[in-house]
Chains A and B, each alone.
Chain A
């Protein structure tokens, strides 16, 4: 038997090629399995974190006033806000939630984020507003001559919780900075700044307070501005209830080392003042406001129906039947509902919000009279 040695050599070479191909395929297969298992494991972990956070949001929404430290090892990124629906990305998982004000990027500190809630009442309870932030976000409050900042920080019930990182610049120090441009006022912030990844400035009517009614051009030191991407200027109107009433919020964008005035949006109640403090920007504030205003309208219509139900439930000879009839005839709730719709249609109109505040006060007074002096059931 004669075999061609060249043919044998080719056969041997071919079998090596087969072995190589098979080896490569096996390698690819196992590496894909490893990548899949790793990804699946990571997704399971982030899914668990997401579920725990979702539970926490649900539980905290059930309490009208609550502060909680959330355990989470992962960063949050706000992807988008759509009519109050917030879509966060946590690792490989997505979290959809509602009506939360937060910076667009949330980095936990020692695996913790901070969650706080306040009720929104006008005057009936509409919903709870949720505020989510990181201990590594620094809120810098510039004190004002009227004492609004003190009220925001020191109110025992509705004041900013102590665990939220803040620095307060006194009115005197800031006035000195405005006139002399000396950096000393920022010394404390500059010393601390490395422990924070974001700084937000909160001022109250700064133009009137420090610019003597003129537009205030603010340029802060570069060390501070490199971590600042937004600031707000609260414009309360004492004639309309101050922080608890209606006013406006001026949002600033940061361009280079300077603040440039952006959108101005109205607020209604202290919960919305805090919403502006915690929101990333005017867009997020407005997006959630759309949702909350719709809730306001829904709860208003519901309260109207409840008032009618109460009226029908009192016997006609009962004096409360008469008083509630009087309230219904005043059409306060209906008028408020029309005004809410106007506000929904034009969210930047501060006058509508002031009108809404006035109406809320009237409804509150009527309700108070019914309960306290007429011994009837309240409208809400």
Chain B
């Protein structure tokens, strides 16, 4: 009778140890998963931020947008109005057009808005919105818009809506 009671106590002890062990294990895994999710989420966001900045830098360097002085020197942060107009007039949904710029602008919308000038217009340079559910990162950059006919410069804002899948 005494041996039986001792065995019961030992069994209960073992069960308790197993329960505590499983509890710690589950808690540990849950904690690790949440932490990993948060870290990878932050890293993903950082990576997308970098990618968006990279896209913006590539746009700023695009020969199809930049204005050159009469001596062939490039002008900093300056876009040629007629180059912008050519891109604005393009059919942005045409696969050929998207293919041409995809390596540079990926999935994004690039537009240019003039500020307080005679040219009161929003020019769309590129538009490629993904069909799947996505988030948007917006980046803006002040630029000059140069009109080679009137030899005038206007202030404008280059806006990049960078789409990424979470």
Q: Mark A73-108, 1 if CB is under 8 A from B, else 0.
A: 000000000000000000000000010000000000
Provide the residues of chain B in CB contact with A309, threshold 8 Å: 82, 85-86, 89
**Does A299 make an interface contact (CB < 8 A)?**
yes
Is B63's CB under 8 angstroms from A125's CB? yes
Is B63's CB under 8 angstroms from A305's CB? no
CB distance from A93 to the nearest CB of B (A): 13
A29 and B27 CA atoms in complex are apart in Å by 20
Is B83's CB under 8 angstroms from A306's CB? yes
A314 and B89 CA atoms in complex are apart in Å by 17
**Does B98 make an interface contact (CB < 8 A)?**
no
Q: Mark B67-92, 1 if CB is under 8 A from A, else 0.
A: 01010101000001011011001000
Q: Mark B46-75, 1 if CB is under 8 A from A, else 0.
A: 000010001001101101101010101010
Is A313's CB under 8 angstroms from B63's CB? no
CB interface residues, B 106-154, toward A, < 8 Å:
148-149
Provide the residues of chain A in CB contact with B86, threshold 8 Å: 302, 305-306, 309
Provide the residues of chain B in CB contact with A185, threshold 8 Å: none
A315 nearest CB neighbor, chain B only: B149
Provide the residues of chain A in CB contact with B60, threshold 8 Å: 62
A201 and B63 CA atoms in complex are apart in Å by 33
Binds B, one of A51-59, A144-152, A176-184, A247-255: A51-59
Q: Among the listed A51, A302, A314, which residue makes an inter-chain contact with B64, where contact means beta carbons less than 8 Å apart?
A: A302
Provide the residues of chain B in CB contact with A98, threshold 8 Å: 103
**Does B2 make an interface contact (CB < 8 A)?**
no
Q: Among the listed A305, A313, A380, which residue makes an inter-chain contact with B149, where contact means beta carbons less than 8 Å apart?
A: A313
Provide the residues of chain B in CB contact with A328, threshold 8 Å: none
**Does A371 make an interface contact (CB < 8 A)?**
yes
CB distance from B3 to the nearest CB of A (A): 12
**Does B100 make an interface contact (CB < 8 A)?**
yes
Can you list 18 residue pairs at the A/B interface with Cβ under 8 Å?
A54-B54, A55-B54, A58-B54, A58-B58, A59-B57, A61-B58, A121-B72, A125-B63, A125-B66, A126-B63, A127-B63, A299-B64, A306-B80, A309-B82, A309-B85, A314-B149, A371-B70, A380-B68
Given contacts A302-B83, A378-B148, 15 further A-B contacts (CB under 8 A): A55-B50, A58-B57, A58-B58, A62-B57, A62-B58, A62-B60, A63-B61, A98-B103, A125-B68, A126-B63, A127-B63, A128-B61, A299-B63, A302-B64, A310-B149
B contacts, CB < 8 Å to A: 50, 54, 57-58, 60-61, 63-64, 66, 68, 70, 72, 74, 80, 82-83, 85-86, 89, 100, 103, 148-149
